[in-house]
Amino acid sequence: MKLHMAMGFRIERLVSGEDLVVLRLSGRMHTEHVDMLRGLLGLEEARVVVDLREITLVDREAVNFLALSEAQGVELRNCAAYIREWVDRERPRNDADRTDPKAGGGDDI
């Protein structure tokens, strides 16, 4: 299954055996793509890997979502160095938001 979205963003779903789904992302991932990815992740019952090898650009909302997804068990593969560093920086902020009721955190992916 391939999903094409505006602004040059694409999600390709690959099934590997019975217990692994790879969502291969490509292009530019922006805020408007987060809900689509959140919905797809919510549909999966198997273990999920998000492959970021072909991602060329991300915005802050996308990185926040990737950090939250990783904290909830989604494996991020093939991150560009700048994305990996940014995700690692955002994880403590997301962890704090989830534990602070005033921050509005606690949302699942």
Higher pLDDT: 94 or 36? It is 36
Higher pLDDT: 106 or 70? It is 70
Is 107 among the domain residues? no
The dihedral region occupied by 78, where left means phi > 0, alpha psi between -120 and 50, and beta the remainder, is left
| Count of structural domains, the chain | 1
Is 108 among the domain residues? no
pLDDT reported for residue 3: 53
Residue pair 52/25 in contact by the 8 Å Cβ criterion: yes
pLDDT reported for residue 12: 96
For 76-102, what is the mean pLDDT? 80
Return the CATH number at 8: 3.30.750.24
